[in-house]
Structure 1
Amino acid sequence: MTNTGDLTTATTALGDARAQEALATVKKCVTLFGAVGVIVLGVVAVMAFTGGEASGFMWVRGVVLVAMAALIHRMTVRAAEGSYKAFDRVRTLSTVMPIAIIGVDLIPGLCPAWYAVLQGLSALALAGVAVITRGAALRAAFPGGK
């Protein structure tokens, strides 16, 4: 159940120029994460069709990360509309996912170096989201669990 007073407070705080700028930057970072994911998936497809190395792991992980980018982008849009739940999920996912992505990339022999490097670059975009969502502008816009 949504408390109208809480939503009004969040919406008012989101009207702040700093909060809007921060959320716009978050959207750009999430878009960058998705774009790198699409590039990785495209390279995997080209490699598969030309007889190069393209494992099932690379396909599945590529598809999952592109799907996650779309999901996180949608949550970012909802956060910009004033949803604390969506904001909290974006903040949590942007903290956990880069650690998981890089951690998996460090497993020897699981994926080729080029794949790990590109996935690591996409993780940097999400790490940026984690930093921005913990900044003063968005902490003020979303002061607590509403």
Structure 2
Amino acid sequence: MATTEPANLGNSRTQDAFTTARKCVALFGAVGVIVLATVAVMASLGHGTTPFMWIRGALFPAIALVLLRILARAAEGSYRAFDRVRTLSTVMPIAIIGVDLIPGLCPPWYAVLQGLSALALVPVAVLTRGAALSAAFPKPN
């Protein structure tokens, strides 16, 4: 597998795009923590919660940490990491919202909070396909 050196990694537009992407992924994680805390409060008040809600609520903040790590590797010049962030930030919002739309799987308040967290990843998908980052990461041969 051939490696390609990023062309404009030091460019201010590229760095601004990475900074914005980091903030969006951090927001995704923060909303995930809020979802998990809300599930915990609801359970402590005697409202029904499901293992699905607990597991998914715990997974999203963990996924955010992984995405931040991959994003850091991309900012250091890894095309493979950049491609993973680009793919995950595109697929994850669609998958999250798609699962939330399954009738009866989770309460509406949970689906709304999870949907909000998914929306935080949409700007990352846009940024990774934008001019600044596309120029910094030409496709490897």
Name the TM-score class by shorter chain. Answer: over 0.9
- Are the counterparts in 2 of residues 79 and 87 from structure 1 also a CA contact under 8 Å? yes
Q: Hey, what's the Cα distance between the residues in 2 that align with 1:133 and 1:2? A: 21
- Are the counterparts in 2 of residues 26 and 129 from structure 1 also a CA contact under 8 Å? yes
Q: Hey, what's the Cα distance between the residues in 1 that align with 2:131 and 2:107? A: 39
Unaligned runs of 5+ in 2: none
SS at structure 1 position matched to 2:121 = helix
- Are the counterparts in 2 of residues 85 and 145 from structure 1 also a CA contact under 8 Å? no
- Are the counterparts in 2 of residues 91 and 130 from structure 1 also a CA contact under 8 Å? yes
Q: Hey, what's the Cα distance between the residues in 1 that align with 2:48 and 2:137? A: 45
* CA RMSD, 1 decimal: 1.4
Which structure dedicates a bigger proportion of its chain to helix? 1
Give the Å deviation of 1:145: 2.9
Q: How does 1:80-119 map to 2 (within 5 A)?
A: 80-119=75-114
Partner of 2:119: 124
Runs of 4+ in structure 1 deviating by more than 3 angstroms, as ranges, are none
TM-score normalised per structure 1: 0.92
Match of 1:36 among 31, 37, 52: 31
Partner of 1:60: 55
Unaligned runs of 5+ in 1: none
TM-score normalised per structure 2: 0.95
Q: 1:29-75 CA deviation, whole Å, 9 max, x = no partner?
A: 00000000000001101111221121100001111111111100110
